C-alpha cells in the first residue's frame, strides 16, 4: 500500500497483533514469501479486552501486562532505529 500512496517511508515493519501462542506456520511462511520485516508480536492479553469493553484508555494499562511490555519493546526498537 505504501508505494501506491507515493509517500516517503524509510522502513516498513510488520507487527502481528493479538497473537495467541506460537506464530502459526502459514503466517511464518507468508512473512518469508513476501519478505516482510517482522518487528515484533503483541500477545493477546485479557487486560486489553477488559480495557476495551469498559472504555478505559489504553495508556492506563499496568506496566506488568503483556501488552504494555510488548508495545514498550516495539517502541524502543523503532526509536533505536531512528
* pLDDT tens, residue by residue, 36-67: 999 999 999 998 889 999 999 988 999 999 99
Polymer length of the chain: 82
* Strand runs labelled E in 10-66: 14-19, 38-43
Q: Which helix or strand (DSSP H or E) is residue 18 part of?
A: strand 14-19
- Which cell numbers in the block locate residue 11? 522502513
Task: Using a cut of 0.85, tell me whether the model's pTM lies above it.
Answer: no
Q: What is the pLDDT of residues 9-45, one digit of tens each?
A: 788 899 999 999 999 999 999 999 999 999 999 999 9
Is the alpha carbon torsion for 32, 34, 37, 40 positive or negative?
negative
User: What residues are paired with 41 via a beta bridge?
Assistant: 16
Could you give the CA distance from residue 80 to residue 75 in angstroms, rounded to a whole number? 8
Amino acid at each position: 500500500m505504501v508505494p501506491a500512496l507515493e509517500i516517503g517511508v524509510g522502513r516498513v515493519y510488520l507487527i502481528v497483533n493479538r497473537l495467541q501462542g506460537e506464530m502459526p506456520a502459514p503466517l511464518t511462511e507468508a512473512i518469508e514469501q513476501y519478505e516482510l520485516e517482522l518487528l515484533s508480536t503483541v500477545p493477546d492479553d485479557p487486560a486489553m479486552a477488559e480495557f476495551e469493553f469498559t472504555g478505559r484508555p489504553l495508556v492506563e494499562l499496568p506496566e506488568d501486562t503483556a501488552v504494555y511490555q510488548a508495545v514498550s519493546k516495539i517502541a524502543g526498537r523503532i526509536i533505536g532505529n531512528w
